[in-house]
Amino acid sequence: MIFIAGATGFVGSHLIDALLKEGHQLRCLVRSEKTAKSFHEKGIEVVRGDITEPDTIQGALKDINFVIHLVGIIEEKGSVTFQRVHVDGTKNLVNEAKQTGVKHFFYQSALEADRGSWSGYLRTKAEAEEIVKASDIPYTVFRPSLIIGPWDGFTKRLMDIVKMSPVIIPVPGDGKTKFQPIYIKDWIICLLKVLSSPELFSGIFEIGGPEHLTYNEIVSSLAKAMKIKKSILHMPMRLLKLGAALAEKTIPVLPVTYDQLRLLENDNICDKDSVEKHFGFRPMGYKEALSEFVRT
């Protein structure tokens, strides 16, 4: 049986559908009664709990062979911090896995994860990786670039900007930062290969699509897929960061944080052939992926 933490997120939602289609037995960690009921109706075993509260996951991994840990946040809100979710939560789940004899542990990290990073997000992702590696449980870590597909937060937010912006599409900075979007269907193929032969996929794998695309190219391709013709206007990054830093002190919910703007200044790429080298197939390109899930 497979245990999934983070099954209600974008990646998790697509993954459970794929795993059910493959005939896998699933046990998922959920927090709400509504989600628990929905999962029960799909034939999924449910555990009500939260990885940040160790008492709630005691015994949750009994008879589990494979753990898939997808829980993560991209910004902090109150007590929901990177430290608590990425580091403490991973530690709690790994401790439970060690006690119950889990045979393989999968962790979804992030490209550019680094314990020395200025970014709390990337730093705590790297710290979580270290916890998984030190567990003595056979493990696989994925470090993906942008994962895109139906309902993904990045594309949805960008589509909203493209739709709502009058005449021009605002782009932070010069838009030359590079990303490597990978389609959710291709990410799932990689994960299914790990599930079928975990012994062949031990270690850390950087995951990205077949192209290095600038933010400008991503915006332009998305607008074209949406059949919207607007020009791009580059906004001074220094002013945007200043505004975000000031707003964070007074506005509870922001469209973008100071740290997220800083991340837009750093390339998020790996080897263009990383998936083909490690998993034996060529993933879909960005424009082709958009044609599958973007509806005008």
Give this prediction's pTM: 0.93
The distance in angstroms from the start CA to the end CA of the chain is 40
Is 61 a member of any domain?
yes
Residue 293 domain flag: no
Domain count, the chain: 1
Instruction: Work out whether strand 139-144 and strand 45-48 pair parallel, antiparallel, or are unpaired.
Output: unpaired
In a domain, 175, yes or no: no
Sign of CA dihedral 108, 10, 179, 277: positive
Q: What is the pLDDT along the chain (296 residues), one digit of tens a residue?
A: 999 999 999 999 999 999 999 999 999 999 899 999 999 999 999 999 999 999 999 999 999 999 999 999 998 988 999 999 999 999 999 999 999 999 999 999 999 999 999 999 999 999 999 999 999 999 999 999 999 999 899 999 999 989 998 889 988 889 999 999 999 999 999 999 999 999 999 999 999 999 999 999 999 999 999 999 999 999 888 777 777 666 555 544 445 677 778 888 899 999 999 999 999 999 999 999 999 999 86
The answer as to whether 223 is a domain residue is no
Is residue 192, in this structure, part of any structural domain at all? no
d(CA 195, CA 186): 14
Residue 72 lies in a domain: yes
- Helix ranges, the chain (H): 10-21, 33-41, 82, 89-100, 120-133, 153-164, 184-196, 215-225, 237-247, 258-263, 274-279, 286-293
CA distance 3 to 164: 40
Range of the domain at 107: 2-144
- The answer to whether residue 165 sits within a structural domain is no
CATH of the domain at 128: 3.40.50.720
| Inside any domain, residue 10 | yes
- H or E stretch covering 4: strand 2-5
